[in-house]
Chain A
Amino acid sequence: MFEELIAKLEEIVNKLESGKTGVEESISLFKEGAEISKKCLTIINSGKESIKEIKKDMLGEITEVPATFD
């Protein structure tokens, strides 16, 4: 879940900034943070951005088709 990822990233940054983490722990936190941030950006930029339309055929059958506007 996107919001959860952001919250996790925030937590990692706060931990790193606290200065209480050792070098090894910091490096693994940084690695984790970088991965989460990459994942978040991928989600934001993946851009499905689609608009579909519910269409009823003559028999009343309903299908979902890409919406077209004149």
Chain B
Amino acid sequence: MEQNFLTVTQLNNYLKRIIDSEYLIKNISIVGEVSGFSISRNIAYFSLKDESSLLSVVMFDADNKYKPANGESIILTGSINYYVKGGKITFNATKIEKYGLGKLYEDFLKLKEQLTSEGLFDSKYKKALPSKIERVGVITSKTGAVIQDIKNVGFRRNKNIEIVLYPVKVQGDNAEKEIATAINFFNNYNVDIIIVARGGGSAEDLQPFNTEIVARTVFNCTKPVVSAVGHETDFTIIDFVADLRAPTPSAAAELVFADTTTYLQKIKMLNIRMNNSIQYIFDKFEGKINNSLEKCLNICESKITSSEYFIKANCQKMVHLTDSQIELNNLRFSTINEKLNSLNPEKIFKLGYSVLTKNNELIKDCSQIHDNDILNIRFFDENINVKVTKLEE
């Protein structure tokens, strides 16, 4: 009879698959007491236990992590792993923290209390942001998103500000000294304001910003300092001592870089209003001019009309007067003419009268005439000479 069986490896691989597919035991945090802690080649081996149970733990990169004492309560974060070769379940810890208040946190609280009592956080020492900001000193890492965020947000708001970056280590050994040096440098340098910034990180990563040296340097700095360390929920000592705390580096850029785009809108609006009001004033003025012109025209027109009327009337009068004068003159002329006509000697000749002359002398009575005189008789149409033959008595 054939028997069905599995090899140990097959079973262990199967178990590993089951455990790896179980997400409820991946990336979890567990609390317990440390037992049998040892480090070999940068790997820590120990057990985590409570009153009734025990779990094997492996922790890589142990030299750079917190080293607990046996019996100490800790919180481990990591995942359950099935070790096929040894057929053992272990907890692969990626993070180790003290249970309760960690040492870092205790140090933080102690320093905070001390500096508070010294008055370093007093609002009376907070400097206002300058109204004129042209050069901003930024203290942060040259690599990473922080300086890019500040640059992007800042220049989007205002293209007129210069950023001066003082690159520093923002975590690890001596980072706090570099940061303090940078703050002191900018305090005596041509910048109007200082931003000390760092992206999010663990409590250990943010540690340089929780140091006394950084806190005191910020306090002694005569230029306004804006802190922008970690995420919005992270509070570090520098946040309390800084003149202004920005929740994030981008927010710091927003606080420091005056937004000229709103000014642009404002200037556009002011220009529109200015144009409208000058147009209105011109229209009003034009209206006044038009009114005055109209008035002038009306007055001129009426004057012209009345003058025209006057001239017409006078002309008529003149014509009238002239006509009557002519008539009168005509009348006088015809009377005179008539008179003249009646006096015309030719008219008398025509009646049959004639003129008698002797030697061109008019004969008015007979005593002027003698016998044999040659007399001239002038008739209507011609003259004749006659000889007196005999005078009769």
Instruction: Give chain A's interface residues, CB within 8 Å of chain B.
Output: 1-3, 6, 9-10, 12-13, 16-17, 19, 21, 23, 26-27, 30, 33-34, 37, 40-41, 43-54, 62, 64, 67, 69-70
Contacts and interface: CB of A to CB of B under 8 A. Distances in A.
Contacts of A34: 274
Contacts of B260: 44
Contacts of A46: 159-160
Contacts of B182: 54
B309 interface: no
Interface in B164-190: 164-167, 182, 185
B329 interface: no
A48 B162 contact: yes
B164 A53 contact: yes
Of the four ranges (under 10, 10 to 19, 20 to 34, 35 or more), the interface on chain B belongs to 20 to 34
B277 interface: yes
B173 to A, nearest CB: 18
A13 B185 CA distance: 45
Given A21-B281, A23-B281, A49 B155 contact: yes
10 contacts: A16-B274, A26-B277, A37-B267, A41-B264, A46-B159, A47-B160, A51-B164, A62-B185, A69-B142, A69-B147
Contact of B270 (A3, A13, A50, A69): A13
Contacts of B155: 49
A51 B163 contact: yes
B132 interface: yes
B285 A9 contact: no
A43 to B, nearest CB: 6
A2 B274 CA distance: 19
Given A2-B263, A16-B274, A40-B267, A23 B285 contact: yes
Nearest to B161: A48
A51 B223 CA distance: 20
B278 A30 contact: yes
Contacts of B277: 13, 16-17, 26
A36 to B, nearest CB: 9
B162 A41 contact: no
7 nearest interchain CB pairs? A47-B159, A16-B277, A51-B163, A49-B159, A54-B166, A30-B278, A44-B260
* Max chain B C-beta neighbours (<10 A), residue from A9, A21, A27: A9
